[in-house]
Structure 1
Amino acid sequence: MAISQNEFSIYPGQAYEGQIATLDRPRVNSGIADDTVWFGRAVVRGAAGRAVKAFTKDSKAADMVGVSVRHAAAMSYDGPNTGNGASAMKSGYFKGQHVSYLRDGAIRVLCVDGAKAGDTVSIINEDGDNLGRFTHGKGIELNCVKWRDTVPAGGMGWIELSGTLSVSATPA
């Protein structure tokens, strides 16, 4: 079973990537990492069974199963990583570890380019430091997910997932 943690909605400026924003109704699932999955990033189905992996440039909105959750119940791996631009530290799950990901509920994520309250959430699908992070107006749109508050570029924002992340405009 996946692990959740306490809420910290009283101090929104103190948030971190992958932090569950409120315990109103979080549904946290888990899977085994096919590759490295950074906290607070989009997660898609992996190769087999309950495997999951990081969002890639070829992923589609329909592939997304949730957002990776950072929790204190297991060791998280923090440390310097070369070549990750503005961020000198990354942390997440490595291949073979159990990944907790939020499917339904509110979570804190980094908003790369900024967004206004009510804007739709998009996943960055370009290779680079921000692949799988969130923004508004570029990348893969999650038309059923909105930014709760106005967030500056590079700021921590609150998004709410309802289990339905995107709906195709054309029937399948």
Structure 2
Amino acid sequence: MHHSHVNQDVPQPILEFFFDTTRTVVNMLTHGIFTRYPNIKFIIPHAGAVLPLVANRIPFARGLNPKLTPEQLDIQSVMSSQYFDVAGMVLSQQLPALLELIDPDKLLYASDTPYTPTPAVIGLANKLETTDLLSPSLKTKMFRQNAQRLFKL
């Protein structure tokens, strides 16, 4: 439950967008959206938000709620079948954590334009272009090839 006085001075994009994204993906998982619509490829924003950090905890929800089935908590199937964009500040911690869980062919560049100011978008893109955390071939895939394959361009 979100209380309006908690973190009221911190702009929502800093924390709440990440938690909302994570809650949404888990909600979609527990309600069978990914299995009912296997031909839809979702692009999960912001390098999976908090999912890379909590994915290993999700299957344990069954211990607290035995009504949940293993399929409802199979976050690994989501992580292996869906796409993830790198919009926002994903370096230096979040992107490496995500890459431990996904196929790099599912990684897509995104900028958050126009919501993120242009100078910040350029700065974040430059960090992705110059980081040593990604190989040159992975950068090529992320910036161009993966999207071309996904959208059949």
> Could you tell me the TM-score, scaled by structure 1's length?
0.25
More strand by share: 1
Choose 1 or 2 for highest CA Rg: 2
More helix by share: 2
Tell which has more relative contact order, 1 or 2 (C-alpha 8 A, sep 6+).
1
> Could you tell me the TM-score, scaled by structure 2's length?
0.27
